[in-house]
Structures are given as C-alpha cells and as structure tokens.
Structure 1
C-alpha cells in the first residue's frame, strides 16, 4: 500500500496495510524462544513437522507435530496451479497464512477478510521462494527462521520472536504486471493529456481538454489483453488524480508502488467502481468523475478538493485476483 494521506486517496477510508508487517520488521527484540539457539527444543524440525490440508483460496488447516525451527529455508508445492508461472521480480496477489513454529499457532491470515495481499517490490527470501518459479493457482508451504523471514529482530507485531521458526502457507491468486500492455487507443477529445518525466506519469495537462461534464466519463488509452475485472475482485493499479485545471496532482502512486483494493463494493469512490469493473488487465484509462461520483458536496478538504470539483484520474490496471 502506498504511504499516502488517507484524505488524498481515492479509497473512501484507509484499509489496513499489512505489507510492512509481513515483509520487514525493524522493531525491537521480542523473543518467544531463548537467545542461545532454536526455540528451546532440540527436536525442532521443518516441513516434516507439518500437515497442511484444504483447497487453494480457502483458509488452510495446519497441524503441527512438534515445534518448527529449521536450520535453513524449506519449500514445498502442496498444490500445483495451472496459471502463469511467476518469474523473479514479478508481483502477485496471494492469500497468506503465517504460523509461529514455537507456539505452534496461527499469527496472521488474509483469508478471513477475503482480501489477498499484494506482494511486489522488496520482500524477504521466504516470500520470494513462495512465488518464483510457481504457477498462479498454486499453494506453497515455506518454513524458515524468524531472521530469514523478518530480520534479526523477528516480528514482535505478529508475536514472532527472533529465535522462533516461522511457517508460511501461500496461495498464489493472480499475477501483477509492471506496466500497461495492449492495443493503443485514441483517447476521447474531452480528456487531458499525460505529463511524463523519464517515462513516469507526473501529472495531467488540461490545455486542450474540454470543460468538465456533469456526467461520469472514461476513455481508454491502452486496451489491455488480460482478464476482465469483475465486481468484488481485488485489483492492483497505478494511478494519478488531479482536479480539473489544477497545477499538480492531489494523489499518485507512480513514484511509489502499485496499490490494491476491492472493486465494485464501495471500497473506493463510486466513479472508480462504476468505470473499472468490466475493464481488462493491462489497460490504461482516464476517468472524469463529477462530484456526485467522487467525494460528494462535502469535497475532501484534506486533499484540497471542493464539493464542486471534477476529478480526473489516469489508472493503469495491473492485475486482478483470478
């Protein structure tokens, strides 16, 4: 998730961001095990101490047969998917279950909220091994030390000490691409043009654009060839938002990382829900959103948006859950 002010984001409210908790922890030492090695058990083992059952996309049933604290990272494909193979550097949507190998208990899961985690950018070795070389639709189990998973301090936020073993069950739910790809389209005459610097979108130019309409409008710049976005799915996007004739954007993700959210269910402004459902992965679109489909008559003071402002967005649809 991008670290942006909640008032400037197209989401109606900030969603819980777990990525920092999962991929990196720089908090202080908090160990469940001892400091001299392992978790106080000479019989600690790896994947051989686990039994994982259940279907991909559903919460796994994980049974421990003793503590888990492997000497090195171990990986096993529990279910082989039939989707695209994820290569090094690819992003993906994944459902994630995490267990503490010392307490033999669940400490984190995405399954209850039915919202897969967007994994991209820098991530620790267990997550890389759970993704790279595996097909979308696969379930992969990984066990590692807390240090390999989260750094030398472990992850106190998840109740994982620096000497604990960690168990990951990862369901790969969809690939996320780096940039839009597909057929170039001529945009509608009402649309602003893109301002770019070194190939990165930095703003919108309204010099040749029409004055805002009271209607919700969208136009396609690139028609992607990927899956069709469906209501209720989680999608990954890059975006930039700018008020009509404003000199700079009020929000953007292009200088950071893509963001993700559920579409068509009220997690974002109405204009996004109405226009992005039915589009295809790989597409780049421009949206013109009147106040009624944006922040309403109250506007968004924190983002400098008045209740009469029309919002323009460029959105790249980079992935969706399968």
Structure 2
C-alpha cells in the first residue's frame, strides 16, 4: 500500500516489508529445510507457533549467505505460489543480538502473498511450507534488505539478521467485489471502470463536498463483517474532488493489505471500513480532518483543504 494512505511514516512495518520482500538477490548458496543443521549457528529458538519466539543467541551471528531451517513443522495446508498468507514475523539483529521488530508487538500478523517475486530470504521461508510452521532464516543485512541495510530497524549494512516466520493461515482473496449492486448516493462521483477495475472518478455531476465524512456501499458483499484489528486486503482508488486523475490506486498493480481500525491508515478508512462486509465495494468521502489534516500531503498533491474520494473493494479479512 502506498505511504500516501498512511498517517504514519515509513517506520510502519508493512511499508518496511515492502522493501524487504522485494529485495534484490538470488537463491545461489542458500541452504534450506530442516536438514540444514548449521543454519541457526547455535541459536536456540523456543516457544509455540503463534506466540512470540524466545531466542537465545550463541554470541554474534556471523554469516555470509542465506540459510533457512524449519524450527517447527506445521500440519496445515502447503503454501503454493499465489496464495495469500497471514504470518507473524520476528526480526533480530545478529550483530547486537537484539530484537529489531516483531509483529507480535502489534498483536497483528502480516498479510503476505507467496510469490516468486519475494526476496530469497522470504521466498524459501514461505513457498512450499505448511501452515502452522515456524521457519528461521539467517542472512546478511544486504541479502535481507539491500545494500543499505535497514536503519529504521537499527540494522546496519554490515550487520547480520535472524528472521523467524510463523505461518498462521491461508487467506481467501476475492478477485473483485462480489454481491448485490446498490444505488449510489447523491453525493458520490461517477465511477470510470474497465470491467471490475476502477480507473478514475467522474465529478461532473457530483455536488460540492459538504466537509462531512461520508461512506456508502455500492456493492453489498456477502462475506464476513470486517472487525477492528483485522488485516484486510483491498483494491482502492483515491482522487481529490474535482481532480482529473487519481493520486493513488492499486487496481493496476496488486491489492494492498493492512490492519484496520488501529491507526495504520488515515482515520476515515478506520472509521468507515470497520463494519463493512468482505466482497463489498465502498465509496468514501474524506474531509481533511479524516484524511491528512490541515497540512495535506504535498507529495501526493493533496492540499489541506482538499476532500478525498475513495473507492475501496474489500477482498479479504483475517
């Protein structure tokens, strides 16, 4: 998901992982599987899958290539390429032996698509593994995050990294909205579409915004109700009132996943998407107080007086 929709800066975990998960690298030299007896270099990992791991370091972690080991073998379904999985991720600095980040601190797993586009650090820990597994990866910071390391996690480019991935479950992600169409409200702009994809908004017949938070369901989904704290997967498009083109959208790339109702996205999304049903297409109008406030978002061309309109297709929730 673009940082444009986030109220928080790039320290937010999903945005950091966007860099991690597509880091450069290849598989050459990687060890994998529980048969890789030296993968953990003396590190002991204990605890149940689904609870934050307890890590005992055996001094400074020194590695020059990526190695993967199954700590706990799950008995769930095997993860195939293209699957969307819910995973807890623990990251430690192998040089300082300190925790750098953990989704357990947020009490919310991360939603990750199993793809050959993942960096080798994550690819071998996810694809062809079984749900319920705990997988550990040791790597250089360069292999995990790129040549610069990850300063926001306190990991320098010469450090080493321990990553622990708990595969919690597989998610069913819809291809598009599914349900009964509903009449559009009078305040809503028209949708410009190509099939199920929204490519823009037409404000030619839309009234001036009234600076109130507005939301309506254009397609009533038939799935579960979205609850606060869940990770949802959506396609979305955002456009300023009267704007000629979107300032951000996901339809041309890939759906976005994030925790809802907990401050990871602009407050208007937290307010309106909790309580909606999976499969729904929502139209939302966000006045500045529910979007980026009086400062707006200059990087996205959004002024502090702009009302933002979004179409959001809710494809999954877990």
2:176 counterpart of 1:183: no
Are the counterparts in 2 of residues 46 and 70 from structure 1 also a CA contact under 8 Å? no
Q: Could you say which residue in structure 2 is the equivalent of 1:129? A: 124
Q: Could you say which residue in structure 2 is the equivalent of 1:265? A: 262
Change (3 A) 1:69 1:309: closer
CA RMSD of aligned residues (A): 4.2
1:274-321 CA-partner distances (Å, limit 9, x unpaired): 21001233432111234453445x36262454555432101122444x
Q: Could you say which residue in structure 1 is the equivalent of 2:104? A: 111
Matches within 5 A, 1:20-169: 20-25=18-23, 45-46=38-39, 49-64=42-57, 73-76=67-70, 78=72, 80=74, 86-99=79-92, 106-120=99-113, 122-134=117-129, 138-143=132-137, 145-146=139-140, 149-150=143-144, 155=149, 158-159=155-156, 161=158, 167-169=162-164
Shift of 1:18: 1.5
Shift of 1:155: 4.5
Task: Measure, in 2, the Cα distance between the counterparts of 1:262 and 1:156.
Answer: 22
Task: Measure, in 2, the Cα distance between the counterparts of 1:93 and 1:152.
Answer: 24
Q: Secondary structure at the match of 2:104?
A: coil
2:167 counterpart of 1:172: yes
Task: Measure, in 1, the Cα distance between the counterparts of 2:177 and 2:62.
Answer: 43
Shift of 1:68: 7.8
1:174-200 CA-partner distances (Å, limit 9, x unpaired): 537364342242342433332235864
2:278 counterpart of 1:281: yes
- The match for 1:13 among 5, 8, 14 is 8
Task: Measure, in 1, the Cα distance between the counterparts of 2:311 and 2:70.
Answer: 40
- The match for 2:310 among 289, 313, 317 is 313
Task: Measure, in 1, the Cα distance between the counterparts of 2:145 and 2:264.
Answer: 33
Change (3 A) 1:80 1:279: farther
Task: Measure, in 2, the Cα distance between the counterparts of 1:58 and 1:260.
Answer: 22
Q: TM-score, normalised by structure 2?
A: 0.71
Are the counterparts in 2 of residues 69 and 101 from structure 1 also a CA contact under 8 Å? no
Are the counterparts in 2 of residues 98 and 168 from structure 1 also a CA contact under 8 Å? yes
Q: Secondary structure at the match of 2:105?
A: coil
Task: Measure, in 2, the Cα distance between the counterparts of 1:25 and 1:139.
Answer: 23
Q: Could you say which residue in structure 1 is the equivalent of 2:241? A: 244
1:242-272 CA-partner distances (Å, limit 9, x unpaired): 1233211233233344444432234433321
Task: Measure, in 1, the Cα distance between the counterparts of 2:157 and 2:103.
Answer: 17
Task: Measure, in 2, the Cα distance between the counterparts of 1:301 and 1:22.
Answer: 25
Change (3 A) 1:86 1:64: same
* Structure 1 gap segments, 5+ residues each: 28-43
Q: TM-score, normalised by structure 1?
A: 0.70
